[in-house]
C-alpha cells in the first residue's frame, strides 16, 4: 500500500497566529514526505580518521568539507560523504570544542550549508521538516517547531522568522583532495545508527532524478530558461539585495589563474576569487577566512527561484 502524503496544513508547524516570512506564501510549501523526520537526520555521528576513511570510501567520492575557526585559524575539520548525506540530509553534532553544529545537504537542488546551532542564545536541533519550498529542503527546529529554509539559511515560519543562522564555510570536493589538505580531519562513518541504510550508502538514490531536467516539485514562480534547470552554478551572495549566478561550466573560461588552483573573476572594479580545491591553512597562513563571501553550489532552478533578481554572469 502506498503511504499517504498528508496535506501541508496537517504538519505540526502552523498553530494559530504563527509568524510567517513576508516573502513566503504557505500555499507554496509542498509536502515532500509524510511527516517531520521522514528523512532521519544523524544526531549521534561516529567518526573515522583519514586512514580509516581511505580504506572505507573511494578516493573519488564527493564530500562536504567543513572547517572550524578560532582566531582566523582552522582548528578542526570535518568531511561528510555525500553518499551518506543523500539519505539523511542533516547531521547535528558537537565539535571537539563542544560547539553545536549542523551540516545540511539537499539532493534535490545540490545545496549545502553548515551552521552554528546557537540562535539568539538558544540551541536549536535541526530535522527534515517533510516540507519543501521551491523543490528545496525546509528544515525545522525540534525545540521550537520553527521552519527554516536551507537555501536562505533563515527562518520562514515560527519563532525564528527572518532570523539568519550563523553560517560556517563549506566546500564540496573529493575525499582525496580534502584529505590532502586536511589530513587530521574527522570523516563521517557509515555507522550512523540506521542499519537499514548501511548497504545503501554506496548507491545514489537520485541517479534517475539527475538524468533529466525535470523538477520534481512545483516552484513558487516561473523561472527563466537561460540555463538548463539542473545546470550546476555558483550562487554568490554579496547582500540581501545583490547576488550573482555563475555557471560552473563557464567559470574557468571567465577567470584568470593567479596562483596554483586559485582563480580571479573580474567583477566591475573588483575581483572575487575561487579555488578549484580546498585551501588549507598550511598553504595560506594569512588567508582571510573571516572575509569569505557566502556562496554555494546549486542547481540553476533553485538559485533562480530563491533569488529571482540575481544577475546571471
Q: What residue segments make up the domains of the chain, in order of their start?
A: 8-188, 225-312
For residue 278, pLDDT over 70 is answered with no
| Mean pLDDT score, 191-204 | 91
Query: pLDDT (tens digit, 9 = 90+) per residue, 220-257?
Result: 999 988 999 999 998 988 788 888 898 888 776 666 65
For residue 1, pLDDT over 50 is answered with no
Task: List b or e across 167-190, with b for residues whose CB sees 16 or more CB atoms inside 10 angstroms.
Answer: ebbbbbbbbebbbebbeebbbbbb
- Report the range of poorest mean pLDDT among 153-162, 218-227, 276-285: 276-285
Strand partners, 116: 101
Query: For position 59, what pLDDT does the model report?
Result: 95
Query: For position 286, what pLDDT does the model report?
Result: 47
Query: For position 51, what pLDDT does the model report?
Result: 98
Distance of CA 20 to the CA centre of its chain: 23
Q: In what order do the strands lie in the sheet with 243-247?
A: 295-299, 232-237, 243-247, 311-312
Provide the mean pLDDT of the chain: 88
For residue 288, pLDDT over 70 is answered with no
Question: Tell me, what DSSP letter sits at residue 80?
Answer: E
Query: For position 16, what pLDDT does the model report?
Result: 92
**pTM for this prediction:** 0.90
Amino acid at each position: 500500500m502506498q503511504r499517504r502524503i498528508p496535506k501541508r496544513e496537517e504538519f505540526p508547524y502552523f498553530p494559530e497566529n504563527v509568524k510567517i516570512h513576508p516573502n513566503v506564501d504557505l500555499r507554496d510549501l509542498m509536502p515532500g514526505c509524510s511527516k517531520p523526520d521522514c528523512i532521519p537526520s544523524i544526531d549521534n555521528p561516529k567518526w573515522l580518521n583519514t586512514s580509516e576513511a581511505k580504506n572505507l570510501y573511494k578516493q573519488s567520492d564527493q564530500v562536504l568539507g567543513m572547517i572550524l575557526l578560532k582566531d582566523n585559524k582552522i582548528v578542526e575539520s570535518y568531511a561528510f560523504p555525500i553518499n551518506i548525506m543523500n539519505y539523511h540530509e542533516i547531521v547535528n553534532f558537537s565539535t571537539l570544542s563542544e560547539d553545536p553544529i549542523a551540516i545540511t545537504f539537499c539532493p534535490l537542488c545540490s545545496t549545502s550549508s553548515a551552521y552554528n546551532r546557537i540562535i539568539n542564545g538558544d540551541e536549536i536541533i535541526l530535522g527534515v521538516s517533510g516540507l519543501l519550498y521551491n523543490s528545496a529542503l525546509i528544515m525545522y527546529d525540534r525545540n521550537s517547531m520553527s521552519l527554516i529554509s536551507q537555501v536562505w539559511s533563515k527562518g520562514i515560519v515560527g519563532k525564528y522568522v527572518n532570523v539568519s543562522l550563523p553560517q560556517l564555510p563549506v566546500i564540496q570536493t573529493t575525499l582525496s583532495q580534502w584529505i590532502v589538505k586536511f589530513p587530521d580531519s574527522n570523516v563521517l562513518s557509515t555507522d550512523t545508527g540506521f542499519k537499514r541504510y548501511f548497504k545503501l550508502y554506496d548507491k545514489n538514490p537520485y541517479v534517475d532524478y539527475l538524468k533529466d531536467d525535470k523538477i520534481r516539485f512545483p516552484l513558487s514562480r516561473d523561472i527563466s530558461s537561460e540555463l538548463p534547470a539542473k545546470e550546476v552554478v555558483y550562487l554568490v551572495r554579496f547582500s540581501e539585495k545583490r547576488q550573482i549566478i555563475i555557471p560552473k561550466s563557464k567559470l574557468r573560461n571567465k577567470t584568470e589563474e593567479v596562483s596554483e588552483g586559485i582563480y580571479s573573476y573580474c567583477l566591475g572594479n573588483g575581483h572575487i576569487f575561487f579555488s578549484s580545491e580546498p585551501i588549507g591553512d598550511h598553504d595560506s597562513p594569512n588567508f582571510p577566512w573571516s572575509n569569505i563571501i557566502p556562496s554555494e553550489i546549486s542547481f540553476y532552478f533553485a538559485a533562480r527561484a530563491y533569488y529571482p533578481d540575481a544577475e546571471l554572469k
